[in-house]
Chain A
Amino acid sequence: MAVETSTPLFEDPTRTAQRDQGFFRSRFWRRFSANKVGVIGLIIVSILVFLSAAAPLVAPISPGKIDPFVGFQPPSATHWFGTDETGRDIWSRTIYGGRISLFVGLMAVLLRSGIALTLGSLSGYMGGIVDLIVQRIVDILLAFPTFIFLLILVSILGPSIANVFIAIGLLSWPSEARLYRSRVLSLRQMDFVLAARSIGASNVRILRRHIMPNLVGFALVAMTYGIGGAILTEAGISFLGLGVPPPTPSWGNLIQAANTLSVLENFWWMWVAPGIMMIACVLGFNFIGDALRDAFDPHRGR
């Protein structure tokens, strides 16, 4: 332990970052907040997260409330986004649908990045047979038409919210695992890893204290993009009627209404409203992802 606190001969970037006190004064936050696009993304996502969290307050009409007398109504003062064929309020359904879509996106990404981080860093750090096996699995999974594979998996597992994010998580990790692997391969050659090894640190310790902290930035960027991607994938599956089972709204199965030609042509609010909300959300996550990538990139100027 004494060695760690002595003057560092080999600068480990995460160690230096920790010396900055307080999040809002950190170099990371200064660089992120200087990026207009990132701040816009953060605002969009914050609003959507707030709306989802406060759904019962901002959308007082129950999303499941059927009222056959007000079916197919265009947007009005009582129904901000109009109503669907059974008179359910589209604004409520969009807000409650956002809850489901954001939840599915988050869970899918946690699963995906969990698998990718574990297998990717092990594969890069251990090399040899572990690397060979993991890379062959990655190769094989990358040869599949991902979305069709997803449809099959969801069809086998059966339609439920959990099965959607499990399927997305299980099938989308290979490209991300490759990213971590190549990063770990270069980190392994760094002087601070050599220094740690020379003072007798074990593999587990090196992975945990020296490799993993240097992957945090990478992982955050990948996860931010990943949430947007997972939300789009969920929407695709639900659009085909194989994802989130219908009485529960999600952005995808709300857009599914547009599969009927008369709805597509005449009752645009039924699918445009959830669609735009979803696009805004994904755009927000992509903006944040870009800003995070720039903020973590040591090669860019402050």
Chain B
Amino acid sequence: MRTYIIRRVLLTIPVLFAITFINFTLIHLAPGDPLIFLMMQTDQTGGMTNRQVLEANNNLYGDFMDKRRHELGLDLPIPVQYVNWLGQLSHGDFGRSMIDGSRIFPEMMLRLKVTLQLTMISLIFSIIIGITLGTLSAIYQYTWFDSLVSLVSYLFMSVPGFFLALVGINIFALKLKLLPIGRVYDAATGGTLDDRLFHLILPVLVIGLSSSVGLLRYTRTSVLEVMREDYVNVARAKGLPERVIRFRHILRNALVPVVTIIGHELPGVFGGSALYETVFLWPGLGQWAAKAAASHDFAIMMVVITVTATLIVFTNLFVDIIYAVIDPRISYS
């Protein structure tokens, strides 16, 4: 067990290097000079192509362009830039936005906080919903309850989360005026706990329900499989009460593989935050990534994807270790 955990921890190191390297090269292989986009923000460039803008700017402000490029370190070879960038990251220097030149790190920490609040609470909610409904519909297989859950989960699987969010806002915020349209808190209250929780209701409901479907179906299948195992028959033949069989024999065994699925949900949850946070005006990392992608701010995109991918790698590491601890059937040598 210990060697397995040590090996698993060591394996994450090359993965992290690969992730940072892919992000870095990908963004630096992007066609076009990031400076073009910097210039396009400030100049009136109606009808001109990127190249024309670059040439015009080069002619007009050639020295300035070179100076900016040098300041941003864009004139060095890519491997050197990568190593420099890693060095900066280790000092907590995440660089500056390519559009407005503001420091990325302070804003990233603020956004990371609100993103984690939203995604973690939604994830916990979806786990509760998914496991409870999945287990119940397996135990009551072929009843009206099971059919209803299957039908609704089918529907939710086909409805994109952001559409559900739009419908939710339309009904609960705009028509019924019960819940806020979005945002983390109301500026008028200054962000009291009550107000923050109030603003979480709709996003957590939408994201939680939308991402619980996969977990629900997986739990249902897993519980159904375990219910057919010999040891369940044995437990029943022994005359154990149904309650004990369900909790001690079925549920405990069925939920072991479900743990890994929770780890697999993360890329979807973090990725989807780009859409949810845009719809709910939630100033998190996802919304930032969407904005940066639209304005071609490669510096911000690179930071957001590196930070979220790192979070996913560590959470999966955590999930795998838990899995090794709770599943006695597999021996890790």
Q: Are A156 and B31 in contact (CB under 8 A)?
A: yes
**Closest chain B CB from A240 CB (angstroms):** 5
Q: Name the one of B26, B30, B270, B294 contacting A145, with C-beta atoms under 8 angstroms.
A: B270
Find residues 306-328 in chain B having any chain A CB closer than 8 Å to their own CB: 308-309, 312-313, 316
Q: Are B154 and A148 in contact (CB under 8 A)?
A: no
User: Interface extent on B, as a size class?
Assistant: 35 or more
Q: Name the one of A156, A261, A271, A283 contacting B26, with C-beta atoms under 8 angstroms.
A: A156
A143: interface (CB < 8 Å): yes
Residues of A within 8 A of B181 (CB): 261
Binary per-residue interface labels of chain A (225-255) against chain B in the complex, 1 for a CB within 8 Å, 0 otherwise: 0001000100110011110000000000001
- A to B contact number (C-beta, < 8 Å): 129
Instruction: Give the segment of B162-170, B197-205, B236-244, B249-257 that binds chain A.
Output: B162-170
Instruction: Give the segment of B63-71, B72-80, B285-293 that binds chain A.
Output: B285-293
- For the complex, give the distance between the alpha carbons of A242 and B278 in Å: 13
- For the complex, give the distance between the alpha carbons of A153 and B305 in Å: 11
Q: Are B274 and A240 in contact (CB under 8 A)?
A: yes
Q: Name the one of B15, B166, B271, B293 contacting A264, with C-beta atoms under 8 angstroms.
A: B166
B158: interface (CB < 8 Å): yes
Q: Are A147 and B166 in contact (CB under 8 A)?
A: no
- Using A156-B31, A240-B294, A265-B170 as known contacts, say yes or no to A151 and B158 having CB atoms under 8 A apart: no
Q: Are B163 and A275 in contact (CB under 8 A)?
A: yes
We find that the number of chain A residues with CB closer than 8 angstroms to chain B is 42
* 5 residue pairs A–B, Cβ–Cβ below 8 Å: A148-B308, A156-B27, A158-B31, A240-B290, A286-B158
The interface of chain B, by Cβ under 8 A from chain A, is 15, 18-19, 22, 26-27, 29-31, 154-155, 157-160, 162-163, 166, 169-170, 174-175, 181, 264, 266-268, 270-275, 278-279, 286, 289-290, 292-294, 296, 301, 304-305, 308-309, 312-313, 316
The interface of chain A, by Cβ under 8 A from chain B, is 136, 139-140, 142-156, 158, 228, 232, 235-236, 239-242, 255, 258-259, 261, 264-265, 268, 271, 275, 278-279, 282-283, 286-287
